[in-house]
Amino acid sequence: MGRSRKKGQNITGWLVLDKPLGMTSTQALGKVRWLLDAKKAGHAGTLDPLASGVLPLAFGEATKTIPFMMDAHKTYAFTIQWGASTTTLDAEGAVTARSDHRPSAEEIKVVLPGFVGQIEQTPPAFSAIKVDGKRAYDLARAGEEVVLKSRTVRIDALHLVDVPDADHACFEVQCGKGTYVRSLMRDIAAALGCEGHVTVLRRTRVGPFEVDAAIRLDEVIQAAEEQAALDFLQPLDAALGHLARIEINAEQASDLRMGRAIVCAPMGNADTAQPLVYAHCATEPIALGTLEGEIFKPSRVFNP
C-alpha cells in the first residue's frame, strides 16, 4: 500500500507575495502553499522568472475569485537596455540584432502616446500561450518557428520615468489583461528605430494589491518557522472591493448556498449596471452573482 498524500489545511484568503527573481510563479505558489500547509491554492497572473513583484496567491475559497484578479488592471516598472535585441526580448535570450542608436528622452517621449489606449500587440514567442496544445515557449526553445496572432490590449498610461544613462531608459506602464511588457518594449524600440531588450521588470500593482504591502518570500519562511505565516492572509473579499456589495441576512445566505436566487433590498445609489455584485452576510462574503431589479442570482458561492 502506498503512502497517503497529505491533504493540507482548509484555509481561505489571499497572500500577496513579492515574487523574487529566478523563480517561476508556479514554483513560488508551490513554496508558499507548502509553508502554509494549504489544501487548495492558485495564483492570479504569471510573472516570468526574470520578473519580480506582486503575485497574488489565493487559498481555499479565495481561488474562486482568481478570475477577477486575472482581469484586474496591472502596473509594471521596467527598464530597456538599448543596443541589442534578443530571442526572448529580455536578458535571458541570445542576441539577434544590434544597433548603435541611443534614443534621447525627447525622442522617447514623442513615440509613447502612440502606445496608449487600445493597441494591437503580438505576444512574444517565448510566452505561455498555447499553440496546438503546446506552450509557445516550449516550441521556441526547441527551435521551432512560433507565429502568434496579434491581439488588442489596453494601455491606460505609459510614462518615461528616468534615463540613467545613454544605454538605459526606465518606464512605468498601467495596463489591462493580456498585455506583454516585453512586446511593448519591442514595439517602442522599433518605433525609435533601434534595438533593445528588457533588463528589469517589476510588477507593482494587481488590482487592489500594491507592492508596498506585498510579503517577501523570506518573510513567509521566517513566519512559518514561528507558526505565524497565516497572519499574512488577507480576507477572500480583498479581491472584490471593485464590485458593488449587497448585505443579506443568515436565511438569505443559506438560500444562496443552496443555489437559490433571493429577493434583496434595493441598492440605493450603487451601480446596479455592473455585470457582477457580491452578497455579504455580517463579516462573511457569501456569493457572487447578478442583480436584476431586486432579484440576486448567484453564479459562484463561497462555502464556510
DSSP state of 212: G
66: region left, alpha or beta (phi > 0 left; psi from -120 to 50 alpha): alpha
The type of residue at 80 is I
| Catalytic machinery residues | 48
Q: Are 155 and 184 in contact (CB under 8 A)?
A: yes
The CA-CA-CA angle for residues 90, 204, 86, to 5°, reads 5
Q: Are strands 134-135 and 130-131 parallel, antiparallel or unpaired?
A: antiparallel
Q: Are 86 and 93 in contact (CB under 8 A)?
A: yes
The type of residue at 81 is Q
Which residues, including other chains, have CB under 8 Å from residue 235's CB and lie 6 or more apart?
A: 13, 14, 285
> How far apart are alpha carbons 50 and 56 in whole angstroms?
17
Buried b (16+ CB within 10 A) or exposed e, 204-218: bbbbbbebeebbebe
Per-residue HEC secondary structure of 241-261 comes to CCCEEEECCHHHHHHHHCCCC
